[in-house]
Amino acid sequence: MLTYPHINPIAISLGPLKVHWYGIMYLVGFTAAWWLARLRARTSGSTWTALDIDDLIFYCAVGVILGGRAGWCLVYGHDVIAENWLNAFHIWDGGMSFHGGLVGVIVAVFVFARMKHKRAGDVFDFLAPLPGIGIMAVRIGNFINGELWGKPSAVPWAFLVPNAEGELIARHASQLYEATLEGLVLFLIVWWFTSKPRPRWAPAGLFLLVYGCARFVVEWVRLPDANIGYLVGDWLTMGMLLTTPMIFIGAGMMILAYRSRQPSGNFTAARA
């Protein structure tokens, strides 16, 4: 068994100013997305400019933060908000919903596409490989915060974590499982897939499909939020319920994309 290292969630403390690792991980995610987008925009035949990238990352960052926090407050954070409504703004304490952030990004993309006169499908496809590194970083932030632990386990890589009574219990490090599957594996698959032109909506569909499958798998060993619990029996979680539509929508998008084979607007006609 492994012993949880109890990392201080505050990375830097300068008087009243405290910089949390969780916030740093979001910064890592946005920076990685910006760098990867700039790298992809420099490839031969790309229709994206550096200014497009800067604007896109800004729009999406706003969508992720507002949507992610709002989603968490509406679905998972009822008890925390009931204690003090100002807790809704304490993002540094953790509490961001991926699905809420996804909704925020969807809204941001439609606004961006309208402002830049681009097709929304092309923007979603261009975005598809960018969030993986950020998802991995944020899940590591969850691990540092000591939250989102998995079920008790006897596997040798389980972490000994104290419960409310101080008793050490070996648990799955579901945060690190998510960092690997929802983050690194997702990034590698979608980055490879988008390395050449694909039909419009296919990259976005693949993102939803791979993330949905990865999240659904990890939910089997991840504990549900204490204030929600299991929705059915001792297996169906809110994460499963919210993720299942992503799998079917993603698969459907890929099927329709390859049937219609509309060329991507992210590449010039010569490259596509």
Cβ atoms within 10 Å, residue 227: 11
Express each pLDDT in 124-176 by its tens digit. 999 999 999 999 999 999 999 999 999 999 999 999 999 888 899 999 999 99
Express each pLDDT in 1-42 by its tens digit. 899 998 999 999 988 888 999 999 999 999 999 999 999 999
Which residue carries 């980055």 as its tokens?
Answer: 191
Amino acid occupying residue 255: I
The candidate with the shortest Cα–Cα distance to 66, out of 108, 116, 117, is: 108
Which value, in Å, is the radius of gyration of the alpha carbons in the chain? 20
